[in-house]
Amino acid sequence: MAMFAQAAMGKTVVFDRDSYGCLGGGVGVGFGNLYLNWRGGIDCFYGFLSTGNEGKEHAEEIADEIRKTGRKLAVERFLHGEGYVKSPDLAKRFVDSLPMIDIPKQYVVFKPLDEVDAERETPVVVIFVANADQVSALVSLSNYGRGTLDNVVVRSGAGCQSIGILAYKEAELEQPHAVIGLTDTAARAYTAATLGHGVLTFAVPFKMYLELEQNVPGSFLERETWHSLIGRE
């Protein structure tokens, strides 16, 4: 998420199967179920998400290995959990419900949209970093041309999942949904210094992005109410 924040500020960042940051980040960008490689096995990941791993076999050995890296907070999270899911059993159900995707590519690239080479590159997802006013406009625009009211979703998940695999899955649909993200408090903490505290992500599969772009003329975006909000703090 820290690298995504850099892309949002205008840089190009590249992930590959050997340099994706944390295992969760690798899952989020679509390199398969890397939770299977978690220290102590995937059961320890379920504990990490929920109530912790204290008392489990080899838990102290693993904690000592982490201590040697000087990452005190990582030890605390491993032993006592992050508390994002109520129990390890529910954490397993959560992970099983994720659309695990192993993309047939070596690299995932985040770059500013205006730097995409339209002749050689086709984005999979376009990601907006938006404040509350902008999210409200994007939600309205996402429903503007469809005659339905459920074209934007908010799903529980990590920040990288909301801009990665959850949005990738939508891109497979004939009529995809936009995905609101950055509802993960850890991701918000990692990106706050760069993106600020008052934003969310709004991930749109590319064909939906083109649809939104085509629907701007004649829409509320050309009317007084929206113009009165532009630039508001």
Give the per-residue pLDDT at 73: 87
**Structural domain of residue 204, as residue ranges?**
116-229
Specify whether 49 is located in the same domain as 146: no
Residue 158, by phi and psi: left (phi above 0), alpha (psi -120 to 50) or beta? Answer: beta
Rounded Cα gap, residues 59 and 94, in angstroms: 23
Residue 137, C-beta contacts closer than 8 angstroms, at least 6 positions apart? 220, 221, 226, 229
Residue 77 pLDDT exceeds 70: yes
Q: What pLDDT does 29 receive?
A: 96
Q: Which amino acid is at 175?
A: Q
Residue 10 located in a structural domain: no
Which of 97, 132, 151 finishes a domain? 97
Cα Dmax for the chain = 63
Please list, in sequence order, all residues whose beta carbon lies within 8 angstroms of the beta carbon of residue 1, skipping any fewer than 6 positions away.
Answer: 25, 159, 160, 187, 190, 191
Give how far Cα 85 sits from Cα of 10, 88, 175, 183, Å.
34, 7, 31, 14
Q: Which residues pair with 19 in a beta bridge?
A: 16
Estimate to the nearest angstrom the gap between the alpha carbon of 77 and the chain centroid.
Answer: 21
User: Model-level pTM?
Assistant: 0.93
172 pLDDT band, cuts 50/70/90, is very high
Report the candidate in 171, 48, 23 with the shortest Cα–Cα distance to residue 99: 171
Residue where a domain terminates, one of 66, 97, 128: 97
111 within a domain of the structure (yes/no) = no
pLDDT at position 233 is 61
Same-domain pairing of 127 and 208: yes
Does 185 fall in a domain? yes
Other residues' Cβ atoms within 10 Å of the Cβ of residue 196: 12
User: Of 233, 225, 144, nearest to 197 (Cα)?
Assistant: 233
| Domain total of the chain | 2
Domain check: are 138 and 213 in the same one? yes
Percent of the chain residues past pLDDT 70, beyond the cut: 100
Rounded to whole angstroms, the Cα distance separating 115 from 127 reads 14
Average pLDDT, the chain: 95
Residue 89 lies in a domain: yes
